[in-house]
Amino acid sequence: MENPVKTTEERILEAAKRVFHAKGYDGARMQEIADEAGVNKSLVHYYYRNKDNIFQAVFEDAFAQLIAALNEIFISERTFPSKIETFISYYVTFLSKNPYLPLFILNGLYEKPEQIKTMFEKIHLSPDHLMQQIHLQVKEELNLDIDPFHIFINILALSIFPVVARPLIQTIFGFSNEQIGQFYEERKTVVPEFILNALKGYEKR
Amino acid sequence: MENPVKTTEERILEAAKRVFHAKGYDGARMQEIADEAGVNKSLVHYYYRNKDNIFQAVFEDAFAQLIAALNEIFISERTFPSKIETFISYYVTFLSKNPYLPLFILNGLYEKPEQIKTMFEKIHLSPDHLMQQIHLQVKEELNLDIDPFHIFINILALSIFPVVARPLIQTIFGFSNEQIGQFYEERKTVVPEFILNALKGYEKR
DNA sequence: ACTACCTTTGACCACCTGGTTAAACCAAAT
DNA sequence: ATTTGGTTTAACCAGGTGGTCAAAGGTAGT
């Protein structure tokens, strides 16, 4: 840590993250962000002009965090099974530390889907390139008889959904925080195993 | 249809569903619900007293719709593979007709997780019984070496997530409405196949 | 001491929000 | 025709909302 002392602007942004992540755009209050940052409400407007602006900053940050790892791992030089394992393990850990993030993102996307593409350019990330990589590996490395796109979506679904649905799982089945932690821990091995087992069924002989 | 003429109360509830599903609790406006129903705002209060009340009515209805099918199918007399197929097919169809529902539910659960259990009782539904059924089938009918709970969550994840993430998928990969419809259609066969392929890997020999 | 510039604050405002109320409406019963 | 009861409306209100603004504070250069 070079500069542990946060600037006011950073403190406001972090406060905004906490508030927006937990309450969403409509539920968040500028006053609450200010309180959370320990500053006057006008100061929030001073640095970010209006609610839309600061929300966008928060959203882009969250989106970048979620997407960056995905891209990095799937573009790397590993074998496909290794990528899946690395990805799931990383995502489950990351998401259970930031449980609000995925739902926050999904909600944001319903409201302003247009901005996604420009956001991808900002992060220097190409969906086509990513899919092309996955396609290559599924078709040429493993020679599987299945649409790579469905595999990709399945990987995301199995990693993300259980985190998003945490309150559902926890209340319905009465899991304690420890138990749900244990459950997520298990998924790091269960999910890659599940996916690789499934892929075996698609092997062309 | 015995009585195609809707009462005012029903029209208000349906308007409220549309508004709440699309905008969530905080984003919804009592005025908008009234407009959508074509009535005066006071009428909404006349029938439902306050915003919390009408939201709860909408939420319970949505939750019941989503849970009912799940329970019905998994308690039925089919074989496990048939259940999976039936469930996925039904869910994908139902959800793509009601794309806002799952995200609406997930958001609601973050805000008021306590009410879930009472809601289960209202619908006469026992999570324990459901899990017990799945446990029996996975362990005794198929004799698989995997925790049934993870399978259950995987089934939900693979059915629900792609619908929730529709805006993400559609914008990132530039799918038209037709293409995404085609994609969901494919999933009705791809997902059961994927799951059953995976389960084969867990067969005890 | 003065200036110049960025930062921070309290007071304020126009507008919107959920909610209330009293009066009007209207169909059925008397 | 009048009463009665549920239904529907317009007008209104208190509190909260995002946002503005002028002034005060603070800091570095002169």
CA-to-CA separations, A100 to A96, A164, B158, in angstroms, rounded: 9, 8, 20
What is the full DSSP assignment across B23-49?
HHHHH--HHHHHHHHTS-HHHHHHHHS
B8 touches strand D (CB under 7 A): yes
pLDDT for A112: 77
- Per residue in B43-96, pLDDT tens? 999 999 999 999 999 999 999 998 888 888 888 889 999 999 999 999 999 998
Nearest CA in chain B to A194: B198
Amino acid A80 reads F
What's the pLDDT score for residue B2? Answer: 46
Task: Give pLDDT, residue A149.
Answer: 94
Domains of chain B: 1-49 (1.10.10.60), 58-200 (1.10.357.10)
Q: Residues for chain B: how many in total? A: 205
Q: What is the mean pLDDT of residues B151-165?
A: 96
Q: How far apart are the first and last CA of chain A?
A: 53
Query: In degrees, to the nearest 5, what angle opens at C-alpha B107 toward C-alphas B102 and B113?
Result: 110
Question: What whole-number distance in Å separates Cα of residue B141 and Cα of residue A28?
Answer: 50
Taking phi over 0 as left and psi of -120 to 50 as alpha, with beta for the rest, B66 belongs to: alpha
Sequential DSSP letters for A33-78: HHHHHTS-HHHHHHHHSSHHHHHHHHHHHHHHHHHHHHHHHHHSSS
Tokens of B172: 């990132």
Distance measured from the CA of protein residue B10 to the C1' of nucleotide D1, in angstroms:
35
Rounded CA separation A71/A63 (Å): 12
Per-residue confidence (pLDDT) for residue B1, from 0 to 100 = 45
pLDDT at A111: 84
Average pLDDT per consecutive 10 residues, chain A (205 residues; last block may be shorter)? 74 98 97 98 98 96 89 88 94 92 94 77 84 90 90 96 93 91 96 96 83
In one-letter notation, the amino acid at residue A10 is E
- Give yes or no for a contact between A153 and A136, defined as CB atoms under 8 angstroms apart: no
pLDDT for A96 equals: 87
Q: Which two tokens stand for residue A24?
A: 């969403």
Run of H or E including A180: helix A177-200
The SS3 assignment for A166 reads helix
What tokens were used for A43? 């100061």
CA atoms within 13 A on the CB side of A20: 26
How far are the Cα atoms of A83, B61, B75, B82 from residue B89, in angstroms, in the given order?
30, 21, 17, 11
pLDDT digits (tens, 9 = 90+) for B181-201: 999 999 999 999 999 999 999
DSSP string covering B63-128, please?
Answer: HHHHHHHHHHHHHSSS-HHHHHHHHHHHHHHHHHHSTTHHHHHHHHHHH-TTHHHHHHHHTT--HH
Interface residues 17-46 of B with strand C (CB < 7 Å): 28-31, 41-42, 45
How long is the CA A44 to C1' C6 vector, in angstroms? 15
Percent of residues, chain B, with pLDDT higher than 90: 68
44-83 of chain B touching strand C, CB 7 A cut-off: 45, 49-52
Q: Which DSSP helix (H) or strand (E) runs through B8?
A: helix B8-27
- Confirm whether any atom of chain D, the nucleic acid strand, is less than 7 Å from CB of A58: no
Token pair recorded at residue A98: 């930031």
Q: From the Cβ of A96, is strand C under 7 Å away?
A: no
Which of A127, A200, A201 has its CB closest to that of B172? A127
pLDDT confidence of residue A1: 44
